[in-house]
């Protein structure tokens, strides 16, 4: 882990997207992609064309891989319809293959082959949020937020939905990224009104018929909680508390599977 160039006592994984210097939440300003240091944020000089030649793939490779896996699984489901039933998680108890940890994982990459709008919306959201969060959090922490949010959505289904309820789709993880980005904005004291509106609209849509609203809420809560521990406990003296908090969340989610 690196230290902020302006506050050496603060640990951070965020770097300026123009100069690559590491910056803590207090020094970071949201840019078009990622975050800017105070000097580059105030710079009014146009960025040279060469600075735009860095591809999205190089900025957020993990996000691109996740999108690719989701799309690949979708097309395989479309070609082999029975596969969907083999991927979906059913709330029937962890002692059943239909309610296993493996199903909780595979269900997060499966979508309804008959509803292309579902995967298109999820992948667009993943692209937007991933290209913002992955450079800011770093690849490993981004993956940690993504997958804990995915499992957080499944655990919420276990706790708050009827026995036998099935769930699939990347929405739990996507809502986790929404919660994560909202926390990131709060950590740098940025305006969160637009993001709150987006989250609010998606929360409202979660209550439409046929949508697993509990999975959305579970993912949102876990994504926000994990990111809060990452970005608010950056001081070295809080490292034990930070890792203990994240370990507790992971252990809590894992306790529902065996």
Tens-digit pLDDT profile for residues 33-61 = 678 888 877 753 333 333 333 444 557 89
Radius of gyration of the chain (CA): 19
Q: Choosing from 15, 107, 187, 216, which is the catalytic residue?
A: 216
Rounded to a whole number of angstroms, the distance between the first and last alpha carbons of the chain is 33
pLDDT at 21: 86
Classified as helix, coil or strand, 29 is strand
Please list the residue range(s) of the chain that carry CATH number 1.20.1540.10: 56-254
**Which residues of the chain fall short of a pLDDT of 50?**
44-56
pLDDT at 48: 34
| Reported pTM | 0.77
- The alpha carbon dihedral of 78, 80, 81, 84 has a sign of negative
Question: What is the rounded average pLDDT for all residues in the chain?
Answer: 85
Active site residue 58: no
Active site residue 171: yes
Pairing outcome for strands 11-12 and 29-30: unpaired
pLDDT at 51: 38
Class (C level, CATH) for 56-254:
mainly alpha
DSSP annotation of 114 reads: T
pLDDT at 120: 93
Q: Choosing from 149, 171, 180, 187, which is the catalytic residue?
A: 171
């Amino acid at each position: 882990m690196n230290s902020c160039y302006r506050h050496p006592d603060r640990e951070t994984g965020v770097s300026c997207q123009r100069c690559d210097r590491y910056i803590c939440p207090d020094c970071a300003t949201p840019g078009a992609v990622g975050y800017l240091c105070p000097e580059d944020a105030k710079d009014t000089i146009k960025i040279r064309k060469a600075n735009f030649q860095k591809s999205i793939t190089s900025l957020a490779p993990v996000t691109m891989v996740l999108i690719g896996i989701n799309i690949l699984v979708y097309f395989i489901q479309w070609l082999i319809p029975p596969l969907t039933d083999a991927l979906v998680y059913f709330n029937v108890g962890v002692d059943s293959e239909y309610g296993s940890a493996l199903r909780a994982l595979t269900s997060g990459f499966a979508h309804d082959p008959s509803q292309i709008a579902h995967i298109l919306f999820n992948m667009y959201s993943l692209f937007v949020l991933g290209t913002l969060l992955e450079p800011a959090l770093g690849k490993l922490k981004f993956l940690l937020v993504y997958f804990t949010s995915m499992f957080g959505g499944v655990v919420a289904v276990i706790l708050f939905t009827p026995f036998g309820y099935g769930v699939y789709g990347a929405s739990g993880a996507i809502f986790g990224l929404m919660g994560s980005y909202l926390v990131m904005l709060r950590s740098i004291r940025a305006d969160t009104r637009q993001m709150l509106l987006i989250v609010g609209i998606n929360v409202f849509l979660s209550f439409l018929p046929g949508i697993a609203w509990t999975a959305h809420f579970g993912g949102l809560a876990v994504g926000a909680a994990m990111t809060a521990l990452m970005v608010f406990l950056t001081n070295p003296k809080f490292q034990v508390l930070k890792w203990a908090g994240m370990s507790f969340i992971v252990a809590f989610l894992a306790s529902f599977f065996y």
